[in-house]
Structure 1
Amino acid sequence: MRQFLIGNQAFDDSSPEFLPQLERAYEQKLRPLCQCRQPPVPMYIARMDGQFLIKRMPLSGRQHDPGCSSYDPPYELSGLGPLIGNAIQIDAATGAATLKLDFSLSKRGGRSTSTSPSEPSETVRSEPKKLSLRAMLHYLWDMGELTEWTSLWAGKRGWGRVRSSLVNAAKQMIVRGGPLSDILFVPEVFHQDDKEGISARRAAMLAGAQLTGPGPRKLMMTVGEVKEFSSARDGQKMLVRHLPFPFMLDEGAWKRLNARYETELELWRSNEGFHLIVIATFGISGAGIASVEEVALMVVNENWIPFETIHEQRLLERLSSLKRRSVKGLRFDLSRDQPIASVTLPEAKPAPIAMFIVPTKADEDYDVALNEMIAARAEMTPWIWRVAEGEMPRLP
């Protein structure tokens, strides 16, 4: 049972008046306060699938008590740490996150208006860090709390729930001076009995990506599940589930996609239970054709939890049957030769646990960075699986 302060009244989440009060607070734009600590921690109310839910403010997870279900592990254990205060700036009063992007949302003529790479680069640059397209996808997934899992949710997370989580997370983000939700297109689950309504809402949302005349063309962003890739006359067609039209990729973009995301594509093709998530910027031509400008991929398991290697997936599979909450760490813009906590167990006793998987190719620099990360978060108990040494250690 959790205690919340809404206005001047205290409620616990099991009381009969709690849900009606949430709806009233949502309409009045009141901010609930979690009383797991003093002073209480501000939260916000989201509407998902017709229900009203209390969600933690962006990056506020570690302000909650470790015994609170809103507690989140320190972001320094993932690739999110280097981006806070630079690419991601949080407004303490509203909780909105202003994002600096390393990819373009407009196109002039036949070329993108930005020459910045959307993927991490090994070169050193002096300008403030910005979010690549892949990091944008990771941030949406993280803020949508789609990195979290407990066996109590088995069978309850489909694309409809994923979509609601992403759309609500985007409402808390500002890009180029406006809400990300205004330019983020996430396909609705198709239902035959609402075919016309879905089509009308889709057309209204996609109007912002239509070519309307001369000058720079605005681009939109999409997140969806890839159904398949197929050959086209001059490139590839990318079919996304729940959409009646394909996204077009030219031959050069298709070759770069295969080279950059070879691992993700291999993992996706290895198991029909895995999902391939795409994030892309796109525009729609005067002929009504949707063409991708920049694209990034991420593979997730049957519970929609992201993973990078088959070893991570094996760990997630072992943890998926536990009632305790697990949180998947994401890489954002960190390279694969830098360590992150693959999974954390925030509800473990007597202390939260950070789980690390050390790849076979890890060198001395990797071990030094890993030891520094563990030492910096002494409140977390480390669990380490060194893949080169054999099978997964016993779970804590």
Structure 2
Amino acid sequence: MRTFTIGERTLAESALEFRTLLADAYEQGHRAMCMCKEPAVAMYIARLEDQYLIKRMPLSGRDHDPACPSYEPPYELSGLGPLIGNAIQIDASGKADLKLDFSLTKRGPRSAPILSAEPSEPGIRSEPRKLSLRSMLHYFWEAGELTEWRATWAGRRGWGRVRTSLLNAAAQMTARGGPLGDVLFVPEVFHPEDKDGIAARRATALKSIQATGSGPRKLMLIVAEVKEFSAAREGQRILVRHMPFPLMIEEGAWRRLALRYETELELWRSSEAFHLILIATFGISTAGIASVEEVALMVVNEHWLPFEDINELRLLEKLSHLKRKSVKGLRFNLPRDAPIVSVTLPEQKPGPVAMFIVPGSAGEEYEHALTDMINARPEITPWVWRVAEGEIPRLP
């Protein structure tokens, strides 16, 4: 059971008055200090529906004791490593200041939308000093603790919780001199009894990107679940859940999107249990039509955990029944042919376990990179599944 210092009081989270203290501290903007180590580790208080929770500050998970539930595996094992200190910098307040590789303004006439660059494509170089649109989505998932799972959470993570986690995470980020949360739109879960209230809040949130003339247009980020794609008179409509109007995308951009994210789309279409997550920059024309400028996609399972292929999905399914926590590793800007940790088991005894999946196509260069990654973190026990050698090895 964790112990926290909030203001001048130090309490175990099992104390009867702890929840009341959290609510008061949230309203006053106080930090919670986790006492798992000396010096104590700063955390923030978030509101999730009708509950108050204590969450990690950006990139602070490694500062906690390995036995603490807030401990997070070393980011060097995932695609997050190259971005730290470059695209992601922690400022004096403990918030993450981000350098973005996409624009939030549009100058001149609308041109054809472009897709978030995938470093794995020939001629496209990974840029560790800036966050691509795809890596921004991965960072939202990581900072929102949506990469974490344990069996006791089954049935308790729906879009409402995902949305709140994303907004809470964005509140700890800044970009281009302002709060990132001010330019992030995540659709609310639709409730018929609050239809008018939801519409009013949506209109207020989107008011700043409504075009009023021919000058520069402001854009926003949207993170949403795709419901379906459908043909329009010109181009395609992207229908997202909990939003009454589509996002329009031109036909050429749609064809490139379908080609670039062929794997994600194929996985999503293979099961009704999966969700397809979209991140895009978008604006609204003078006619009130929402159109995307840049877009990236990510497929997640029924627990909203991202996965890249069927092998990774099978591993997640095996781990989903365990009470111990698992943490999904993400690729961020790294290309698909670079090794990353697939899943980490931070609560494993006597020490954390990093789980790697080596694809059947892996060559000597891949194996060398994997060996270097494992040797760089000797305190982490490696578990390796080489797909070409057969079925999933016994779990740790």
TM above 0.5: yes
Partner of 1:14: 14
- How far, CA to CA, are the matches of 2:127 and 2:268 in structure 1? 35
Partner of 1:68: 68
Contact 1:104-1:114 within 8 A present in 2 as well: no
Q: May I ask how many residue pairs the two structures share in their alignment? A: 395
**3-state SS of 2:53 partner:** strand
Q: Does 1:104 align with 2:103?
A: yes
Partner of 2:45: 45
Q: Does 1:166 align with 2:166?
A: yes
Q: Decide whether aligned partners of structure 1 residues 102 and 171 sit closer, same or farther in structure 2, where only a CA change above 3 A counts.
A: same
Partner of 1:355: 355
**3-state SS of 2:205 partner:** helix
Partner of 2:81: 81
- How far, CA to CA, are the matches of 1:207 and 1:221 in structure 2? 14
Q: Does 1:274 align with 2:274?
A: yes
- How far, CA to CA, are the matches of 1:245 and 1:291 in structure 2? 11
Partner of 2:191: 191
Q: Structure 1 residues 118-127 or 21-30, which shifts more?
A: 118-127
- Look up the equivalent residue of 2:49 and give its one-letter code: D
- Look up the equivalent residue of 2:88 and give its one-letter code: I
**3-state SS of 1:372 partner:** helix
- Look up the equivalent residue of 2:242 and give its one-letter code: H
Instruction: Point out where structure 2 has 5 or more consecutive residues left out of the alignment.
Output: none
Contact 2:115-2:294 within 8 A present in 1 as well: no
**3-state SS of 2:229 partner:** strand
> What is the CA deviation profile of residues 84-127 of structure 1, one whole-angstrom value per residue up to 9, with x for unaligned ones?
11111111x31211111111111112256999964436558798
Partner of 1:299: 299
Q: Decide whether aligned partners of structure 1 residues 125 and 244 sit closer, same or farther in structure 2, where only a CA change above 3 A counts.
A: closer
- How far, CA to CA, are the matches of 1:130 and 1:284 in structure 2? 26
Partner of 1:392: 392
Q: Structure 1 residues 301-310 or 120-129, which shifts more?
A: 120-129
Partner of 2:35: 35
Contact 1:106-1:112 within 8 A present in 2 as well: no
Instruction: Point out where structure 1 has 5 or more consecutive residues left out of the alignment.
Output: none
Q: Percent identity?
A: 70
Q: Structure 1 residues 386-395 or 41-50, which shifts more?
A: 41-50
TM-score in terms of structure 1 length:
0.97
Q: Structure 1 residues 114-123 or 139-148, which shifts more?
A: 114-123
- How far, CA to CA, are the matches of 1:308 and 1:265 in structure 2? 11
Contact 1:339-1:366 within 8 A present in 2 as well: yes
- How far, CA to CA, are the matches of 1:337 and 1:35 in structure 2? 40
- Look up the equivalent residue of 1:210 and give its one-letter code: Q
- How far, CA to CA, are the matches of 1:246 and 1:124 in structure 2? 30
Aligned 1:175-190 pairs, distance under 5 A: 175-190=175-190
- How far, CA to CA, are the matches of 2:70 and 2:314 in structure 1? 26
Q: Does 1:94 align with 2:104?
A: no
Aligned 1:104-253 pairs, distance under 5 A: 104-111=103-110, 118-120=117-119, 123=123, 129-253=129-253
